[in-house]
Amino acid sequence: MAQARESLELPSNNVTDKGLDRDCTTLSRHVLQQLQSFSPEAQDLSALMNRIALAGKLIARRLSRAGLMEGVLGFTGDVNVQGESVKKMDVYANDVFIGVFKQSGLVCRLASEEMERPYYIPENCPIGRYTLLYDPIDGSSNTDTNLSLGSIFAIRQQEGNDLDGEALDLLAPGRKQLAAGYILYGPSTMLIYTIGKGVHSFTLDPSLGEFILTEENIRIPNHGPVYSVNEGNFWQWDESIREYIRYVHRTEGYTARYSGAMVSDIHRILLQGGVFLYPGTLPKPEGKLRLLYESAPLAFVIEQAGGRATTGHMEILDVVPKKLHQRVPLIIGSPKDVAKVESFIQNGH
Ligand code: P6P
């Protein structure tokens, strides 16, 4: 019997199973933990993040089967407000966010790269206190080649009643964001977010249908080897940017990485350090990237991780947009690397 008892030795009941604890940390629970509160505002934010997660699951599911379905890939034949050819995935993802937030009851307006004007959900507006700003698919050029893509989101408090539908309260600096982050559709689907209390990552477990906590309080390295920029624009840049590129070409320790989806490139920089640039060009000095639903959300995340994001002359989060689809030059990443780029822009070296 003694022999049998030894083989039956049970683990002591004070052993906490880290894996089990982590598997139970879902996104909505994590938001409440972050806020250490069950206030109506905390519950709202938790519910909003849950909706973002649902949108991410629906988009990830579509992308994972795109090659097996009719009508998912390719172009719609339309051109969006940005003057860009629209992919079918752009439209699908844009509609997914509208659909999941209609059900939420919390969001009155959605502003997206794909829509000239904000989309209003009238039934939500009397109580809807939040606005979702998003880029439904970042990196559309990668949809038909099965490469990484992203969705970028920011949540802002609605200020005033916007009776004229001009959404002028959205023309406020990025420091007004309540929450921001991105979903990365890669080998796995990840969701990275901040509500101003650090940066946290979640990985979608398809078998559970849940985003599970993966890393808390992510800190960007002070410096890293990666510089991420489309060098095909080299001769359209200002001389100061060309001088920076010549500097990294001749200096040991730098490596170029550029995927065509900045969510993917910036996620790499968040973890390994470095700098992503989309500078202005001579024909387009304001650059390509949109402030309200691309640069500002990513700037919030990177600043919360200890990094920086600037136009080259001003912190991204301090820029006051003049219009909904305003573009800004973007230099974002590790503090030391962003400062290096700035030194070329501001001092010519
Ligand atoms: P280019 C995707 O359209 C995007 O907004 C970013 O995700 C990406 O880094 C950039 O544009 C790619 O633009 O001009 O280098 O092809």
User: Model confidence over 118-151: pLDDT tens digits?
Assistant: 999 988 887 768 999 999 999 988 988 999 999 9
Looking at the fold, whether 176 and 209 belong to one and the same domain comes out as: yes
139 lines ligand 1 (CB under 6 A): yes
Looking at the fold, whether 183 and 256 belong to one and the same domain comes out as: no
| Final residue belonging to a domain, choices 215, 239, 262 | 215
Q: Whose CA is nearest to atom 9 of ligand 1?
A: 262
Give 29 Cα–ligand 1 centroid separation in angstroms: 34
Give 122 Cα–ligand 1 centroid separation in angstroms: 33
**Probe ligand 1: pick from 138, 148, 149, 183, max atoms within 8 Å of CB?**
138
Q: Which atom of ligand 1 is nearest to the CA of 150?
A: 7
Looking at the fold, whether 100 and 159 belong to one and the same domain comes out as: yes
Q: Are 211 and 183 in contact (CB under 8 A)?
A: no
Whole-number pLDDT of residue 104: 82
CATH number for position 163: 3.30.540.10
Q: Which atom of ligand 1 is nearest to the CA of 289?
A: 5
Is residue 220 in some structural domain?
Answer: no
Q: Is the pLDDT of residue 10 over 80?
A: no
Reduce the DSSP state of residue 312 to 3 states and report it.
coil
Is residue 262 in some structural domain?
Answer: yes
Range of the domain at 275: 226-347
pTM of the model: 0.93
Looking at the fold, whether 33 and 152 belong to one and the same domain comes out as: yes
pLDDT grade, residue 2 (50/70/90)? Answer: very low
Whole-number pLDDT of residue 1: 41
Give the lowest-confidence range in 12-26, 78-92, 128-142, 208-222.
12-26
210 lines ligand 1 (CB under 6 A): no
Q: Is the pLDDT of residue 169 over 70?
A: yes
Cα–Cα distance, 171 to 160 (Å, whole number): 13
Q: Are 131 and 165 in contact (CB under 8 A)?
A: no
Residue 156: name the closest of 173, 137, 135, 139 by CA.
173
138 lines ligand 1 (CB under 6 A): yes
Q: Is the pLDDT of residue 13 over 90?
A: no
| Final residue belonging to a domain, choices 193, 215, 237 | 215
Looking at the fold, whether 122 and 239 belong to one and the same domain comes out as: no
Is residue 6 in some structural domain?
Answer: no
Query: Based on C-alpha coordinates, what's the Rg of the chain?
Result: 22
Looking at the fold, whether 75 and 126 belong to one and the same domain comes out as: yes
Is residue 4 in some structural domain?
Answer: no
Whole-number pLDDT of residue 18: 67
**What would the mean pLDDT of 8-22 be, rounded to a whole number?**
57
**Probe ligand 1: pick from 114, 262, 281, 295, max atoms within 8 Å of CB?**
262
Q: Is the pLDDT of residue 55 over 60?
A: yes
Q: What is the mean pLDDT of the chain?
A: 91
| Final residue belonging to a domain, choices 215, 237, 254 | 215
Looking at the fold, whether 286 and 311 belong to one and the same domain comes out as: yes
Q: Which atom of ligand 1 is nearest to the CA of 139?
A: 2
Residues 6 or more apart in contact with residue 341 via CB below 8 angstroms: 241, 244, 275, 277, 312, 331
Cα–Cα distance, 21 to 14 (Å, whole number): 13
90 lines ligand 1 (CB under 6 A): no
Is residue 264 in some structural domain?
Answer: yes
Cα–Cα distance, 248 to 154 (Å, whole number): 33
Whole-number pLDDT of residue 16: 58
Looking at the fold, whether 178 and 256 belong to one and the same domain comes out as: no
Q: Are 180 and 132 in contact (CB under 8 A)?
A: no
Cα–Cα distance, 90 to 131 (Å, whole number): 20
Is residue 271 in some structural domain?
Answer: yes
CATH number for position 337: 3.40.190.80
**What would the mean pLDDT of 90-114 be, rounded to a whole number?**
93
Residues 6 or more apart in contact with residue 150 via CB below 8 angstroms: 135, 137, 138, 139, 182, 183, 184, 185, 261, 262, 263, 264, 267
Is residue 10 in some structural domain?
Answer: no
pLDDT grade, residue 287 (50/70/90)? Answer: very high
Is residue 7 in some structural domain?
Answer: no
Q: Which atom of ligand 1 is nearest to the CA of 259?
A: 9
* Residue count of the chain: 349
Looking at the fold, whether 145 and 200 belong to one and the same domain comes out as: yes
Question: Residue written as tokens 């808390």?
Answer: 216
Give the lowest-confidence range in 1-15, 22-36, 38-52, 162-176.
1-15
Looking at the fold, whether 170 and 50 belong to one and the same domain comes out as: yes
Looking at the fold, whether 160 and 266 belong to one and the same domain comes out as: no
Whole-number pLDDT of residue 248: 98
Report the relative pairing of strands 107-112 and 119-120 from DSSP bridges.
antiparallel
Looking at the fold, whether 230 and 211 belong to one and the same domain comes out as: no
User: Model confidence over 188-233: pLDDT tens digits?
Assistant: 999 999 999 999 999 999 999 999 999 999 999 999 999 999 999 9
Whole-number pLDDT of residue 126: 74
Q: How many domains does the chain have?
A: 2
Give 142 Cα–ligand 1 centroid separation in angstroms: 10
Q: Is the pLDDT of residue 183 over 70?
A: yes
284 lines ligand 1 (CB under 6 A): no
Give the lowest-confidence range in 27-36, 250-259, 326-335.
27-36
Cα–Cα distance, 278 to 311 (Å, whole number): 9
pLDDT grade, residue 21 (50/70/90)? Answer: low
Whole-number pLDDT of residue 3: 44
